[in-house]
């Protein structure tokens, strides 16, 4: 049983029998009286026992075990204010190196010392918001330059898309055109997808690892059909690959499968670290094919904590955009 030392030297008072625990504490208000930190710890600790056991939870799409060395590193870095790039440059170098490793794993067309373009995010959901926003902005720029209307963007995906795409569509005012699934075909049919594309299509989303079945969509065929369509129409409809769960599987189990930046129309890819990347919930990545795919106007150059810091994230509390610094990796 947890115990704590009382103010009277020489006595030990068990928490469960202490005066801190004899009267109820308010659930929704700050208590009038103080309590010892070990009593407070015990109360919260015990309440959390009502949660499920993560190791027994095989249904939440996220890793529930990490190597002990990783846990050690997380604890060692917990007190760092991640956003302060100048104070914690090593943390950011490591992030940028991860972006570079993932971009190369996904065959981004990079020269040997060229910096990849991407950022860590809060899961694939934030990654998808950023990738969709970049594609929407690129499309708007193109339409504006051509003197055409740019107020009715749409995107195409199978109706098996994860709900975060519906969120993207609603928050960023993009019409979501869905390819219906049919008996025996539970992923997006690329031929049906191309039929829904028009000049206002900012992206077609292909899923590598459908949320419901794990099945990979045929990105290669979609790329081929869209190339033909683009050639015929003069449009430049790009592909975003939602590789939330497949991005850390396909390169290792199916290295010959062409689904990534080997295909010219694949302009951005998201992947969740916490699905098959062997890390706890909270990290995702978005990678762009090249700098040209990320409109400069979306990058914020903030003078936040003493130096100019370029970021492209939905919040200012974490992450930055690798390559925004324009430096080459050594
Ligand atoms: C295909 C797909 N995309 C996006 C997401 C959202 O990912 P995250 O939980 O990393 O935000 C999921 C999650 O299940 C998914 O399966």
- 210 CA from centroid of ligand 1 (Å): 9
Task: Look at residue 328 and tell me whether its pLDDT is greater than 50.
Answer: no
Residue 57 inside a domain? The answer is: no
Q: Which atom of ligand 1 is closest in space to residue 209's alpha carbon?
A: 1
CATH code at position 115: 3.40.640.10
Residue 77 inside a domain? The answer is: no
Number of domain units in the chain: 2
CATH code at position 19: 4.10.280.50
Residues 39 and 130 occupy one common structural domain = no
Write down how long the chain is: 330
Residue 2's pLDDT band (boundaries 50, 70, 90)? Answer: very low
Residue 328 inside a domain? The answer is: no
Contact indicator for 223, 239 with CB cutoff of 8 Å: yes
pLDDT value at residue 9 = 64
Residues 239 and 177 occupy one common structural domain = yes
Residue 260 inside a domain? The answer is: yes
Residues 41 and 102 occupy one common structural domain = no
Mean pLDDT for the stretch of residues 301-330? 66
Distance CA 92, CA 134 (A): 22
Residues 121 and 23 occupy one common structural domain = no
Distance CA 163, CA 221 (A): 24
Residues 43 and 167 occupy one common structural domain = no
Residues 29 and 118 occupy one common structural domain = no
* Range from 28-32, 252-256, 276-280, 303-307 carrying the lowest mean pLDDT: 303-307
Distance CA 104, CA 116 (A): 8
- 125 CA from centroid of ligand 1 (Å): 6
Residues 35 and 121 occupy one common structural domain = no
- What is the domain extent for residue 8? 3-51
% of residues, the chain, pLDDT over 70:
88
Residues 193 and 275 occupy one common structural domain = yes
* Range from 21-25, 115-119, 320-324 carrying the lowest mean pLDDT: 320-324
- 107 CA from centroid of ligand 1 (Å): 22
- 46 CA from centroid of ligand 1 (Å): 31
**Hey, is 150 helix, strand or coil?**
coil
Any atom of ligand 1 within 6 Å of the Cβ of 280: no
Distance CA 200, CA 233 (A): 12
Write out the E strands in the chain: 3-5, 12-14, 117-121, 154-158, 175-179, 201-207, 239-242, 266-272, 284-288, 300-303, 308-311
Any atom of ligand 1 within 6 Å of the Cβ of 123: yes
Among 62, 124, 128, 215, name the best residue to mutate to test ligand 1's pocket (greatest count of ligand atoms within 8 A of Cβ): 124
Mean pLDDT for the stretch of residues 157-176? 97
Any atom of ligand 1 within 6 Å of the Cβ of 245: yes
Residue 64 inside a domain? The answer is: no
Torsions phi, psi for 285 (to 5 deg): -145, 145
Task: Look at residue 140 and tell me whether its pLDDT is greater than 80.
Answer: yes
Task: Look at residue 13 and tell me whether its pLDDT is greater than 60.
Answer: no
């Amino acid at each position: 049983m947890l115990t704590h030392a009382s103010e009277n030297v020489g006595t030990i008072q068990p928490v469960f029998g202490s005066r801190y625990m004899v009267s109820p504490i308010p659930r929704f208000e700050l208590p009038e009286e103080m309590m010892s930190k070990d009593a407070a710890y015990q109360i919260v600790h015990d309440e959390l026992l009502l949660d499920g056991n993560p190791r027994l939870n095989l249904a939440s799409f996220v890793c529930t075990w990490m190597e002990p060395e990783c846990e050690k590193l997380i604890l060692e870095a917990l007190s760092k204010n991640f956003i302060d790039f100048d104070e914690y440059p090593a943390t950011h170098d490591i992030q940028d190196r991860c972006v570079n490793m993932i971009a190369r794993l996904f065959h981004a067309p990079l020269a040997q010392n060229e910096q990849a373009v991407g950022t860590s995010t809060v899961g694939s959901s934030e990654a998808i918001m950023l990738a969709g926003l970049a594609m929407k902005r690129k499309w708007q720029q193109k339409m504006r330059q051509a003197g055409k209307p740019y107020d009715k963007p749409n995107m195409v995906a199978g109706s098996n898309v994860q709900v975060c795409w519906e969120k993207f569509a609603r928050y960023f005012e993009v019409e979501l055109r869905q390819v219906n699934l049919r008996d025996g075909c539970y992923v997006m049919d690329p031929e049906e997808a191309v039929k829904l594309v028009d000049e206002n299509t900012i992206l077609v989303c292909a899923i590598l690892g459908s949320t419901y079945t794990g099945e990979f969509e045929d990105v290669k065929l979609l790329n081929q059909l869209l190339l033909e369509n683009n050639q015929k129409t003069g449009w430049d409809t790009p592909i975003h690959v939602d590789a939330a769960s497949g991005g850390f599987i396909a390169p290792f189990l199916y290295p010959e499968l062409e689904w990534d930046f080997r295909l010219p129309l694949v302009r951005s890819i998201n992947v969740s670290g916490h699905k098959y990347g062997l890390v706890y919930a909270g990290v995702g990545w978005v990678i762009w094919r090249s700098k040209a795919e990320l409109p400069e106007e979306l990058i914020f150059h903030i003078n936040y904590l003493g130096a100019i810091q370029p970021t492209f994230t939905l919040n200012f509390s974490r992450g930055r955009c690798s390559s925004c610094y324009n430096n080459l990796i050594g």
